[in-house]
Amino acid sequence: MQRLAILLEKLNIADQRDKIVKKEGEELVKVNVMTSAVAFMYEKIRTVVDYNEEHLLRKSAIFRILKRRFLEGDDYYKIAENLIKEMISAKYLENNKIPETIIIEIAKVIEKYDLLYTGIKEQKGLKRSMKLYDWVIQLASVEIEEIVAPANKERVMVRFMYDEIQSRSEIVCKDMTVDEKNLQIFLAVNRSLVKSDKPMLEYLILKLWYPDWVNDYQVFLPKFIDEVLNIRKDIDAQINHRMANRLLKFCRPYATMMIILREVIYADFKNASKLINDIPLLESKIREVCQEKYKETKKRLKTQIVRAIIYVFLTKMLLALILEVPFDYYILQSFNWLAIIVNVTFPPLLMILIASTIRTPSEKNTKVMINGLHAILTGKVGEIKYIKEPKKRSWFTWGVFNIVYVITFLVPFLFIIYFLDKIEFSIMSIGLFLVFLSIVSFFGVRIRNSARELYVLKKRDNIFGEIFDFATLPFIRLGRFLSLNFSKINIFVFILDFLIEAPLKIILQAIEEWLSFFKEKKEDLY
């Protein structure tokens, strides 16, 4: 299996590049164990309140810290040093492992994005620059994460899968150029294999289109400032391309196989070369890793479910206290205990019910996985899959279908509103019930999709499943919209970020400085 041998060779080279090397005599960044414990506890609380995917937690933490420290002035080294120390304290990075040269690299990145934002503000005005503020910091966060946690082995796997998808598929879309097709495949591979979110995809495209931004940003900076709105618009157009979802659907089974292959290789990286000429051993390892992954997925799902339940319960309790109870008591001058009890308990119970229906893959899935990986590693391409663009419809057909869709969208809501009104729910209680029914439905779909990440078998359609999907789609779509917008106005996140985190980190930083000073005084005695 020559393809596996080539892959292992590239991964070995990437592994060396992933290691952060300490130069001789160079100091390592170290934080105090006591302050680290407090920061770690805070971070754990925050991850529960601000629901996010596990693989995005470190990047989200960098974004949060950077956003808070971005306006501290132009001492970029100090900002970078504090950022690294906060990341170590929260245990996103290892203590006493990061060399101080990394701080210099991060300081240069912070300076680059500060110059970008300052230039945008001067040229485009404060109002427009404020709209781009989070976007600029998100890009900086992705670039900083690449420095503190290099992922060269990951890029090798992405390239390997990209080549595989290119050889097994063909995009049928009249107005797409070859470069655009290749870019869409690359984005779909990153979405499915690496689970890249929007900022990560934006940074990928930025690097591909404008390599000077990474290599020599001073050359590109004036153009970036001048054309930032068009650049962002063009990047968004590629991320939201009409072929994106179709390619993502095609890539997912291959991403699952790549994840299993990656785990097989990493399980014993030094001796992975033994797998090249020993097919029975390779198949045995694939089966073993699949079983481990199925168990790991069960544990991860439990964590995701618990986090979702806590998030929904806390948010619902807060809204009940702020909106539902005062509205019923002071405006309607009535109080329905049934409505309060149902609204507080129903969302978590529904989440538990959804979770109980989630299943992990079977032995049949494992067999398909083994056969698929064998075909990939031996170069058996098989039949080419033609991926066609979404069907174009006339304005009349489009209009009729949308009217029918809106009607069918409203029917489940009207049915629930009618039922809740009959048991004397107030307008506010009905509204909150629908909101949290939708949010829980969306979370349930996200968690269910997470469980399906290890499936390579095609999902079998059946009439009951179609009816269920038809009935729940309105709630899922509304839940998606609400969860995306709720995250922007999450009161718990606001309290933690501005009323707790900022002063807490200042206090911890002061304690850290004091302990460092105390240590120096102590050393003077020897």
Asked whether residue 519 carries a pLDDT value surpassing 70, the answer given is: no
What are the CA-CA distances from residue 223 to residues 116, 120, 234, 408 (Å)?
A: 10, 11, 15, 48
Secondary structure of the chain: what % helix, strand, coil (to 5)?
A: 80, 0, 20
Question: With bands split at pLDDT 50, 70 and 90, how would you rate the model's confidence at 439?
Answer: confident
Q: Which pLDDT value is given to residue 54?
A: 76
Q: Which pLDDT value is given to residue 524?
A: 58
Q: Which pLDDT value is given to residue 451?
A: 73
Q: How confident is the model over 64-97, as pLDDT tens digits?
A: 889 887 766 788 998 999 899 888 888 888 888 8
- The mean pLDDT of 367-392, rounded to a whole number, is 87
- The mean pLDDT of 31-44, rounded to a whole number, is 69
Mean confidence (pLDDT) of the chain: 83
- The mean pLDDT of 503-519, rounded to a whole number, is 64
Q: Which pLDDT value is given to residue 409?
A: 75
Asked whether residue 119 carries a pLDDT value surpassing 70, the answer given is: yes
- The mean pLDDT of 365-375, rounded to a whole number, is 91
Q: Which pLDDT value is given to residue 165?
A: 95
Asked whether residue 221 carries a pLDDT value surpassing 80, the answer given is: yes
C-alpha to C-alpha distance for 235 and 369, rounded to whole angstroms: 35
C-alpha to C-alpha distance for 143 and 214, rounded to whole angstroms: 9
Top-confidence residue, 120 or 473: 120
The answer to whether the CB of 417 falls within 8 A of the CB of 427 is no
Question: With bands split at pLDDT 50, 70 and 90, how would you rate the model's confidence at 435?
Answer: confident
The answer to whether the CB of 423 falls within 8 A of the CB of 463 is no
Question: With bands split at pLDDT 50, 70 and 90, how would you rate the model's confidence at 240?
Answer: very high
Q: How confident is the model over 246-295, as pLDDT tens digits?
A: 999 999 999 999 999 999 999 888 888 888 888 889 999 999 999 888 88
Q: How confident is the model over 188-204, as pLDDT tens digits?
A: 999 999 999 999 999 99
Task: Say which residues have a Cβ less than 8 Å from residue 272's Cβ, sequence separation at least 6.
Answer: 8, 264, 265
CB atoms within 10 A of CB 327: 16
The answer to whether the CB of 55 falls within 8 A of the CB of 142 is no
Q: Which pLDDT value is given to residue 48?
A: 58
Asked whether residue 185 carries a pLDDT value surpassing 70, the answer given is: yes
Asked whether residue 490 carries a pLDDT value surpassing 60, the answer given is: no
Task: Say which residues have a Cβ less than 8 Å from residue 141's Cβ, sequence separation at least 6.
Answer: 59, 60, 62, 63, 66, 199
Q: Which of 144-148, 155-159, 163-167, 385-389 has the lowest mean pLDDT?
A: 385-389
C-alpha to C-alpha distance for 401 and 394, rounded to whole angstroms: 11
C-alpha to C-alpha distance for 104 and 108, rounded to whole angstroms: 6
Top-confidence residue, 391 or 520: 391
Share of the chain above pLDDT 90, in %: 34
Asked whether residue 115 carries a pLDDT value surpassing 90, the answer given is: yes
In degrees and rounded to multiples of 5, residue 123 shows phi and psi of: -90, -40
Q: How confident is the model over 396-433, as pLDDT tens digits?
A: 887 887 788 778 778 888 888 898 888 888 888 888 88
Q: How confident is the model over 285-327, as pLDDT tens digits?
A: 999 999 888 888 878 777 777 777 777 777 666 666 677 777 7
DSSP state string for 124-140: H-HHHHHHHHHHHHHHH
Q: Which pLDDT value is given to residue 310?
A: 75
C-alpha to C-alpha distance for 453 and 192, rounded to whole angstroms: 9
C-alpha to C-alpha distance for 410 and 15, rounded to whole angstroms: 54
Q: Is the dihedral of CA 182, 183, 187, 188 positive or negative?
A: negative
Give, as one character, the DSSP assignment of residue 423. Answer: T
Q: Which of 1-5, 92-96, 110-114 has the lowest mean pLDDT?
A: 1-5
C-alpha to C-alpha distance for 494 and 318, rounded to whole angstroms: 13
The answer to whether the CB of 412 falls within 8 A of the CB of 441 is no
CA 298 to chain centre: 19
**What pTM did the predictor assign?**
0.80
Q: Which pLDDT value is given to residue 91?
A: 86
What are the CA-CA distances from residue 197 to residues 56, 193, 258 (Å)?
A: 8, 11, 19
Q: What one-letter code names the amino acid at 44?
A: K
C-alpha to C-alpha distance for 333 and 328, rounded to whole angstroms: 6
Top-confidence residue, 57 or 312: 57
Asked whether residue 159 carries a pLDDT value surpassing 70, the answer given is: yes
Reference 376, options 261, 526, 215; nearest CA is 261
The answer to whether the CB of 268 falls within 8 A of the CB of 211 is no
Helix extents (H) in 268-360: 279-319, 325-326, 337-356
Q: Which pLDDT value is given to residue 179?
A: 94
